[in-house]
A and B are shown apart, each in its own frame.
Chain A
Amino acid sequence: MLEILLILLKIVLIVVPLIIAVAYLTFMERKIIGYMQVRIGPNRVGPKGLLQPFADTLKLLLKEVIIPTNANRYLFLIAPILSLAPAIAAWAVIPFGMMEATETSPAKPLALTNIDASLLYILALTSIGVYGVLIAGWASNSKYAFLGAMRSAAQIVSYEIAMGFALVGVLMAAQSINLAEIVNQQSGGIWQWYWLPLLPLFIIYLVSGVAETNRAPFDVAEGESEIVAGFHVEYSGVAFAVFFLAEYANIILISMLTALMFLGGWLSPFESIPVVQDWFTWVPGMAWLLAKTCFIMFCFLWFRATFPRYRYDQIMRLGWKVFIPITIIWILVVGVAIVMKLPPWFDAA
C-alpha cells in the first residue's frame, strides 16, 4: 500500500511541475518572440505579465466545448486525450539525475521507473501521439481539419524514421538503451558528450524534433494562411487546451531527451577542467539538466522567430532524401569507430 502511495507521489512530483512548465513555456514563447520582434509581449496580468498563462487557462476552461454537426462524437472527444496521454506517459522513464550510492543501496537514477529499454519505450510512446492528430482531423467532419491531420501525420511519420535512426547511433555509442546509462557513458567533460562524435545525428535529432512537434518552420499542419489552424480547427475550450498541453509537453520532452542523449544530461559542463570543476561541485545535477533543457527549448522559440515556413514538398524531401541517408551513413561511421576503438570517445568500450 505504502509503495503504491509512494509511486503516486512520484507521479504528482513529475506531472505538476511539467504542467507548470508548459504554462510558462507558452508565456516565454510570447515574451521571447516579442523581444525578438522588438515588441514587449504580454505584460498586463500580474507583475510583468507573469500570471498571463493562468488567465489563458481559466478562459479556456470556462468556454463551451462545441461539437460540430455530424462529427463523430466519441472519437472527437477521445482524440485530445489520445494526444496528451503518450506525451505525459513518456515521462515515466526520464531520469532526472543520479542518486548517490548509500550503504544500503547502490547508485541509481532518479526516475519514476528505471527500465532496461527506456529509450525504446519513449520511441514507442511518441509514435502513438500521431493517433490524436489523425482521429481529431477525421472526427471533426471538416475539410480543413482533415487536410491538416493528413499533413501533420505524414510529416510526423516521416521524421520519426530519421529520429529513430539518430537514436540508433546514440545507443550504439553508449552500448545501452537505458537513458541513465547513456548519460553515465558521456561523463568526462564537455568534449565527451555525444554532440561532438555524433554531430550529424545531434543536428538531425534536433531538427526532426522540431518537425515532429509540428513547430515552425515545419508547421505546415497549422499553416494559418492555408488551412486555418490545421487538425484542431474545430476544437474549443478544454478540448483545445488539452491539445495545446500535449504539444508543449512534447516540446519539453524532446528538449529534455536531446539534453540527456547529446548534451550530457545532469553532468557538469566543467567536468575534468582542473580548477574550474571544483568551483561548481555545489551545483546539483538536476540544475544542469534543466539548464540544458531550457537552452534547447529556447532554440525551438528562436527557430520560430527566425525561419520562414518550409514548403510541404521541401519538408518531405528533407526528411526522406537528406536526413535518412545521412543518419544511415553516420551509423556506419559509428560502427566502424566502435570496432576500431577510436579514442577519445569509443576506446572505453
Chain B
Amino acid sequence: MFTQILFYGYAAILLISAILVVSARNTIHSALFLVLAFFTCAVIWILLRAEFLAIVLVLVYVGAVMVLFLFVVMMLNVNLEPLREGFVRNLPVGILVALIVAAEMFLVLSTKGFKLAEQSELALVDATGYSNTKAIGAVLYTDYLYAFEIAAVVLVLAMVTAIVLTMKKSVNTKRQNPGHQVRVKRKDRIRLIKMDSEPVNRKTGDTKSDDAEKGDVK
C-alpha cells in the first residue's frame, strides 16, 4: 500500500517534469526538469528493486551527461522563440509519432515479462539473498558478452572521433608544452643587468628628475 502511494507520487512528478521539459520557456529550466525526470525515474526503478540500474542512471545521466548538457545550454544562451514557430503546422506529425510510440509501449508492456505475477516472484527471490547487481553482471559477461563488447567499441569509436574532430590543427590555437615549461631555467626568463644609479646633474648637484616627481621615484 505504502509502496503504491510512493509509486503514484513519483510517477506524477515524473510525468509533470517530463511535460515541463518541452513546455518550459527557459532552456535551462527545461534542462533542469529533464534532470528531475531522470532522478524520479531512478527512484521508481529502486521501487521496482532494480537498484543497480537506478544508481547507474543517476551516475551516468544525472551526474555526467546532463551536467555537460547544462554547461552547453548555459554558455550558449539559446533563444527558444524561433524554435517554437510552426507548432500548429507540425502538430499532426507530432500526434502521429506520439500514437506510434504509445502503441509500441503498449505492445511491449503487455508481454509476459511485465506481468505482475512475475514481480512478486522477484520479491520472493529477493528475500533469499538475491543481488540485482550480481545478476546483471553474470548475464552481461556471459550471455550478452558480444553485444556488450560491441557497444563498448562503438562508444570508444565515438569518443575518438569527437576528439579527432575538435583537435584540428589551427593557426589560432595556442598550446603549452609542459615539458618545455618545466625545463625552463632562470636565465631563460630573467636578465639581470648592472646599472649606475641615476645620473647626477654636475652643475646643480641635483638628480635629473624634477622635484614634483621625486616623491614618485621611491
Query: Interface residues, chain A, CB within 8 Å of chain B?
Result: 75, 115-117, 120-121, 123-125, 127-128, 130-131, 134-135, 138, 146, 150, 153-154, 157, 160, 177, 313-314, 317
Contact = CB atoms under 8 A, between A and B. Distances in A.
A63 B103 CA distance: 57
Contact of B52 (A117, A135, A153, A314): A117
Interface residues of B, number: 24
21 contacts: A75-B32, A116-B131, A120-B56, A120-B133, A124-B56, A124-B58, A124-B59, A127-B58, A127-B59, A127-B62, A128-B58, A131-B35, A131-B67, A138-B74, A146-B74, A153-B67, A153-B71, A154-B71, A157-B68, A160-B63, A160-B64
A141 to B, nearest CB: 12
Given A135-B32, A177-B133, A157 B55 contact: no
Contacts of B55: 117, 120-121, 124
A313 B173 CA distance: 14
Nearest to B74: A138
Contact of B67 (A116, A120, A146, A157): A157
Contacts of A314: 178
A124 B51 contact: no
A120 B59 contact: yes
Contacts of A75: 32
Contacts of B28: 138
B178 A317 contact: yes
A94 to B, nearest CB: 16
Contacts of B35: 131
B13 interface: no
B176 interface: yes
A121 B56 CA distance: 9
Interface string B55-95: 11011001110011011001100000000000000000000
Given A117-B51, A177-B133, A317-B178, A134 B59 contact: no
Given A121-B55, A153-B67, A153-B71, 10 more contacts: A120-B52, A120-B55, A120-B59, A124-B62, A131-B35, A134-B67, A134-B74, A138-B74, A146-B74, A177-B133
Interface in B21-77: 28, 32, 35, 51-52, 55-56, 58-59, 62-64, 67-68, 70-71, 74-75
B132 interface: yes
Contacts of A138: 28, 74
B62 A128 contact: yes
Contacts of B74: 134, 138, 146, 150
B59 to A, nearest CB: 4
Contacts of B63: 124, 127-128, 130, 160
Nearest to A78: B32
A246 to B, nearest CB: 16
Contact of B133 (A116, A124, A146, A154): A116
A150 B74 CA distance: 9
A110 B77 CA distance: 48
Contacts of B67: 130-131, 134, 153, 157
Contact of B64 (A127, A135, A154, A313): A127
